[in-house]
Amino acid sequence: MMKASIWAVLAVPAMLAGCGDNRSPAQDAADVAEIRAMHDNPPAVPIDPERISYTDIEKNDLFGAGCGFAPENSLSVIALAQPERGFLKIDGAIVTLSPDKGGASLPMSSWQSYAGSDYAFELKQLPGEGEESGVESTSWPGSLTITDAKGKAVYQSEGTLQCGA
């Protein structure tokens, strides 16, 4: 497989030269460099995190104090941050992540950053006044960024960060 991709990269200048363009060696080299860069560093593949339902919470024992994030114009929580673990739902499966306890904290002993083998997420409490949104919860403007295993952003949204017991 590796040999085939190397030959494809090396064949590009020959194919471009056959197109009748009066291309310079520098143009050919730039094209080859661009193709190599795309091969070595493919673009991030966007994801669409799913709603973590009450059924998911019951089935996976996700109860406890912490913070949840819902994107703008939605009441559906797509990320949960608890003191000892964080959660996303991707492709129908709950993904469990570990907190970065050396990083910034959020209310209810939760953390700003969580990471796993395939994904990581960062929750931020944006400037603005928190408002009580229940007996034991407060909501603030917030943002969520999910990155892949290579640290590339695959999802970003602003919305509501709600923390409570």
Distance CA 77, CA 84 (A): 18
Residues whose CB falls within 8 Å of the CB of residue 18, separated by 6 or more in sequence, listed in order:
none
pLDDT tens profile 85-130: 999 999 999 999 999 999 999 999 999 999 999 999 999 999 878 8
Angle between helices 2-17 and 25-40 (to 10 degrees): 150
Distance CA 19, CA 47 (A): 38
60 vs 26, residue with greater confidence? 60
User: pLDDT band at residue 18, thresholds of 50, 70 and 90?
Assistant: low
**pTM, whole model, 2 decimals?**
0.75
Helix (H, G, I), strand (E, B) or coil at 110: strand
In this structure, are residues 106 and 112 in contact, taking their beta carbons and an 8 Å threshold?
yes
pLDDT tens profile 37-93: 776 777 888 999 999 999 999 999 999 999 999 999 898 999 999 999 999 999 999
